[in-house]
Amino acid sequence: MNRLACFIALGLSVAWGASAQAEMFRFATDPFAGTNVRTTPGRQFVQNELFIPDFSLDTDFFSFDPTVFGVTAPVSFFGGFAADVPTRGRLNVIVLQDSDPDNDPTTPFNAAVAADMIAARLEDPQPGFFIYFNTALNVSRLVYSPDLSDNQSDLKILARLTNPVGQDAIGMLPAFAPANFEIRSVPEPATASFALLASIGLVGLAARWRSRAKRVVTGRP
């Protein structure tokens, strides 16, 4: 294989390797589009969420459009139990580690209960997202609220993490980190596009290197 082919193969290998390891789950459309949620009194729920079978905490992340959701970058993250949620300050991503808030395993822990626990702590109105473990479904879910501090705020279930389940899903909650979320108007270019650009750039670099080497060998300017 000549040097030019080696450069191309190396670029594609690095870029496509990253593509195989990381995945972005992008949310950039009105969460309540096509519903009467905005005009209906009281808390309304919108489901029809995205099912995600394998979310890798090491590489995958959720991406939110700030204009659509009314949130401001950067991510302001809290992960822990509801009793420890800071009462003041701006939070836009919360990962609740509670799984049995009233110590009664027969009481379902759902999005409404989780949202109420967060609202009971926050004093400042703020839109945002939270992840909690749903005891009836036995999985974790990602939820959007236009106001995390309001226990009557509407809720949109954005995603359901279908694997792991049960205790493994509960055990996964403390491992979420700010890197698993981003707030960005235009997300980073897809890694596949980066792979193409990288290979094109390497082709040009290799061509210039070969041309320069030829000039040195032949003595041409």
pLDDT tens per residue across span 7-35: 334 443 444 454 457 899 999 999 999 89
The verdict on 146 and 197 lying in the same domain is: no
Residue by residue, DSSP assigns 38-73 as: GGSSS--EE--PEEES---TTT-EEEE-HHHHT--S
Q: Could you give the count of Cα atoms lying within 13 Å of 203 in the half-sphere of its Cβ? A: 7
Task: Please state the rounded mean pLDDT for residues 42-65.
Answer: 95
pLDDT band (50, 70, 90) for residue 164: very high
CB atoms within 10 A of CB 76: 19
Range of the domain at 140: 31-188
The verdict on 11 and 110 lying in the same domain is: no
Query: How many domains are contained in the chain?
Result: 2
Summarize pLDDT for 92-106 with one digit per residue, the tens: 999 999 988 777 777
What are the φ and ψ backbone dihedral angles of 146, each rounded to 5 degrees?
-65, -20
Summarize pLDDT for 177-207 with one digit per residue, the tens: 999 999 999 866 554 444 444 444 444 444 4
C-alpha 36, offset from chain centre: 27
**How big is the chain, counted in residues?**
221
The verdict on 155 and 220 lying in the same domain is: no
The verdict on 181 and 210 lying in the same domain is: no
The verdict on 19 and 102 lying in the same domain is: no
The verdict on 19 and 123 lying in the same domain is: no
What are the φ and ψ backbone dihedral angles of 57, each rounded to 5 degrees?
-65, -20
Residue ranges of the alpha helices (H) in the chain? 3-21, 66-69, 111-119, 166-172, 191-218
The verdict on 42 and 4 lying in the same domain is: no
Give the position of tokens 């993250």.
Answer: 77
Q: Is the pLDDT of residue 50 over 90?
A: yes
Alpha-carbon span 121 to 101, nearest angstrom = 14
The verdict on 49 and 102 lying in the same domain is: yes
CB atoms within 10 A of CB 185: 11
The verdict on 43 and 126 lying in the same domain is: yes
The verdict on 173 and 194 lying in the same domain is: no
The verdict on 143 and 47 lying in the same domain is: yes
State which amino acid sits at residue 135. Answer: T
The verdict on 210 and 167 lying in the same domain is: no
Is residue 165 classed as helix, strand or coil in its secondary structure?
coil
